[in-house]
Amino acid sequence: MAPDPFSRVGIVGLGLMGGSLARSLKALPDPPMIRGLTLLDEERDGAMREGVIDEGPIDPRNFFPGLDLVVYGTPLRATLELLDHHRPLLDPSTVITDLASLKAPVLERARALGLEGRYVGSHPMAGSEASGFMASRQGLYEGRRIWLVAEKAALALVGRIKGLWKSVGGECVVTDPWDHDRQMAWVSHLPQVASTALARVLARAGFARDQLGPGGMDMTRLAASNPSMWGDLLRHAPDTLGEALAKTGAAIETMRKLIEEGRIDEVEELMRDTGAWSEGNPWR
C-alpha cells in the first residue's frame, strides 16, 4: 500500500534519484498519486509516457496544491534556490524532504525560511555515475541506507518519512546533519575526488579507459559523474574533506617511497591490512 499518510506525493526533479523514487513508488501495490515537476521536457514526457507520474504540470503554481509530501530530487544548489522560490507556493501542511548528499546546508535553508517544523532531510546511499531520467530505475533504493536528519520541531514527522523509504526497500538511520556531512567527506566525496584524480593522471599519460583492466575500470567509474552536481557538493563540503585528501596524498607518497626503495615486504604488509579491512575484519 502507499506510504501512509503520503497519498499525494510531488517530486521536483525527475533525474536518476527523483525518477527512481517515482518508479519505485508507482510499483507499489497501492501507489500514491505522483506529480512531477521538471524544467526538462524530455524528463516530463518520458515519465508521463511510462506512467511513472500521474501529472506533470509546467507551472509550479499548479504543482504544489494538495500535496502531502514534496521531495526535492535536485542537485544541492538547485534545492537551496528552489526552496526559496517555492516557499510561498507550499500548502501549510505539506511535508518536505530532499535527496541531496549534504544535509546541513538544506536544513539551515529550511530553518531560514521557517520550514524547519516540516522538513526532514533524506540522503539515500544510492546512485550511479549516470544521470537523467533514462538512468533511473525501480529498485534503486532496495536495501540501501537512508540517512535522515531533522530539527526537534520536525521529529514527529520522521516516522512518516521512514514509512516512505521503507515502502521502497530503504533502511533508515537518523543522524545529526553536521556529523553526517563530515562523514560524507570521507566516504563519498573522497572516493569521487580520488577517482577523478586517477582518471586525470591516466588520461594525461595517454591511456584510454578501454585500455584499463577490471580494477582500473572500477576505480575510475566515478570519474564519469555529473560535474555540475559534484561542483555544488564540493562548494559546500566540510573542512574534513581537506583532511581526507591530505591523508590520502600522504598515503600515496608513502607507497611511492616504499616501492622506489624496494621495500616491497612493507607494501605487502599494508595490503594485508587493507585486505582485512575490505573483508570487514578489524583493522590490525
Per cent of the chain over pLDDT 70 is: 96
Answer yes or no: are the C-beta atoms of 224 and 127 closer than 8 Å. Answer: no
**pLDDT at residue 32, rounded to an integer:** 95
Amino acid at site 216:
G
**pLDDT at residue 5, rounded to an integer:** 65
What is the tens place of the pLDDT at every residue in 99-136?
999 999 999 999 999 999 999 999 999 877 777 888 88
SS (H, E, C) the chain: CCCCCCCEEEEECCCHHHHHHHHHHHCCCCCCEEEEECCCHHHHHHHHHCCCCCECCCCHHHCCCCCCEEEECCCHHHHHHHHHHHHHHCCCCCEEEECCCCCHHHHHHHHHCCCHHHEEEEEECCCCCCCCHHHCCCCCCCCCEEEEEECHHHHHHHHHHHHHHHHCCCEEEECCHHHHHHHHHHHHHHHHHHHHHHHHHHHHCCCCHHHCCHHHHHHHHHHHCCHHHHHHHHHCCCCHHHHHHHHHHHHHHHHHHHHHCCCHHHHHHHHHHHHHHHCCCCCC
Higher pLDDT, residue 254 or 134: 254
- Over residues 60-87, the mean pLDDT reads 96
**pLDDT at residue 3, rounded to an integer:** 42
Provide the β-strand partners of residue 102.
none
What is the tens place of the pLDDT at every residue in 204-219?
999 999 999 999 999 9
From CA 259, how far away is CA 162, in angstroms rounded? 49
Among the four given CATH numbers 3.20.20.70, 3.40.50.720, 3.40.50.1820, 3.40.30.10, the one describing domain 8-175: 3.40.50.720
Residue 284 has pLDDT above 60, yes or no: no
Provide the β-strand partners of residue 78.
none
Query: Is the domain covering 180-278 a CATH 1.10.3660.10 domain?
Result: yes
What is the tens place of the pLDDT at every residue in 185-194?
999 999 999 9
Domain residue ranges of the chain, discontinuous segments joined by +: 8-175, 180-278
